[in-house]
Every structure is written in C-alpha cells, then in structure tokens.
Chain A
Amino acid sequence: MAFDFSLDHFALFALPRRFALDKGGLEAAYRDLQVLYHPDRAAALADADKRLAMQAATRVNEAFQVLKSPLGRARYLLQLAGVDTQEETNTSMPVDFLMQQMAWREQVAETRAAGDVSALEALAQTLQGETRQLELALADCLDVQKDHAGGALLVRKLRFLEKLEQEIGDAIEVLLD
C-alpha cells in the first residue's frame, strides 16, 4: 500500500493543472483510484495499511469534489498559485454587477411572493447562462491570460450566482410543496 499525500489534486488524477477540464478523464481516474483504495479491498490488509487506505480514499474523494466543481477548481488553482480569492473579505464588486444582483434578488422576491414558479424557472435558466459565461471567462483568464486577480474576481462573481441559484431553487421547492 502506497499513497503519495504530497501530490496536488491535479497530479493525483494525472490531469494537467488548468481550469479547462477533461471531465471524462477526471471521472475515469477517480473510479480507478476509488477501486484501488476501496475499504473492501483493504479489509484483508494489516491495520496500518487499512488506515492508510482509508486516508487515501478520503483524500481521493475530496480532490474529486474540488476538481469537478468549476468554482472549486478555479479557487484551488488560485490557491496553488498563492492567491486568496477574498470571498470572505472583499466587498467591493463592480457597481453594474451589484446592480444586476440586486435586480435579480428583487425579481426573486417578487415572483416568489406572487407564487410564479415558471418565472422563477426562467430566471434560473438566465442564471445558468450567466454562470456558463463566467466559466468561459475563467478558462480564458486562468489558462490563457494567467491573470490571477481577474480570476479571483470571477470566482467572487460566480459565488454570488451560485448563492442566488440556490435561493431560486429553494423558492421553487417551497412553492411546489
């Protein structure tokens, strides 16, 4: 039983360190490692190796969760580059972005109060489109321009959208209940 805990998440799955992702490649590498360190397989091993296999399996799962999410992947790439995304501390976003966020939140509150599920679903669709645009911008920013500050701003924007999408999802769930 051997596992190199010093590998970063990309190296663990033998993937290039970049935002653009070979999703199939990640999933295949993940499955291979899952099998390798599966508890059933480790059951016959000595206690020390059992523990090691469990730690390795946990690490593989964590790495997979981080890399498969665009937000997690971007944040991790920036972290590897020593850049703090400042999601907890930086409150100064571009004004037009914040105006749009406020308008969308107003819309959610109004459509929710009106019980208009289809309007909420339409808004969710709009946000998915926006999210996709931000992900494309992230690929350009991180992989091509190597612009860390720009990448960190895009991560913060994506975080806003993720939160809003959750809220819309919750509102739809409540209305459909």
Chain B
Amino acid sequence: MAYSDKVIDHYENPRNVGSFEKGDDSVGTGMVGAPACGDVMKLQIKVSDTGVIEDAKFKTYGCGSAIASSSLITEWVKGKTLDEAMAIKNTQIAEELALPPVKIHCSILAEDAIKAAVADYKAKHEG
C-alpha cells in the first residue's frame, strides 16, 4: 500500500514530537491506544490562561499513518480554543492525509487523543 506524500512528509519530519511535564497545571494529557493494530498515542496540550492551546506535543508508537495523524493534529490545534480543538473530526485528518479506508482508524485515534487531552485539562481545572 502506498502512503500519500503528506503522510510520508509527516512521518519523515514529524512535528512537535516530545512531551510536557505531566504535573504542570497548564498541560492536558491524552493517552489512547488501538487494540487491533497495537498503536499507542500520547498527546499533550499546553493551554494559556485565556483557554487557548499554545503548544502541543505527541509521542506515538505505530504505523506511518498513526504518526502522521498525530503530527498533523498537533499542528492544527495550536492557536485553537479547547472547544475548537474538540470540534476537529477524524474525517478532516483522513482527508488531509489522503488515508486509505484501512487506515481511517489511525485518524480516529488522533481525534480520540485530542479529546482525551482536553478532558484531562478540564478535569484538572474543575473546582
């Protein structure tokens, strides 16, 4: 199966690889995994006082499509509010990266990861 140029670009030059301090109050961490392919994805967001995502980092073990999906979504969420980040759909990622049907689940993983990161951040800031 051939990867699209965009997948190869993100795979060879992944953006925003790394991690933030988990205990930092301004950081939300999302961890998800795909049982069928064994992929594991950690996605972190750093949120400003005004509720805007200033920075994002990821660490993914998985296929090229999973790495590209997480790399792309970390680029997309920067500058977005939490609500805007929550509105990102896996279909947008799949379309941007031209993922074939068998790799759609990689984009779902990235969507679930950002949702989990936002949920973690919100949980830290409730009451």
Residues of A within 8 A of B (CB): 86-93, 95, 97-99, 101-102, 105-106, 109, 155-157, 159-160, 163-164, 167
- B interface: dominant SS: mixed
Pairwise interchain contact A167-B38, C-beta atoms closer than 8 A: yes
- A interface: dominant SS: helix
CA distance A157 to B112 in the complex (A): 18
Residues in A whose Cβ lies below 8 Å from that of B108: 89, 91
Pairwise interchain contact A99-B35, C-beta atoms closer than 8 A: no
Stretch at the interface among B4-12, B26-34, B49-57, B78-86: B26-34
Residues in B whose Cβ lies below 8 Å from that of A98: 31-33, 40, 42
CA distance A156 to B36 in the complex (A): 8
Residues in A whose Cβ lies below 8 Å from that of B113: 91
Return the contact of A101 from the options B37, B40, B109, B116 (Cβ within 8 A): B40
Return the contact of B36 from the options A88, A92, A105 (Cβ within 8 A): A88
CA distance A92 to B111 in the complex (A): 12
Residues of B within 8 A of A (CB): 31-38, 40, 42, 59, 61, 105, 108-109, 112-113, 116
Best-surrounded residue of B40, B105, B108 (most CB of chain A within 10 A) = B40
CA distance A93 to B33 in the complex (A): 7
Best-surrounded residue of B33, B35, B38, B116 (most CB of chain A within 10 A) = B35
7 contacts between A and B (CB under 8 A): A92-B112, A93-B32, A102-B40, A102-B59, A156-B35, A163-B37, A164-B38
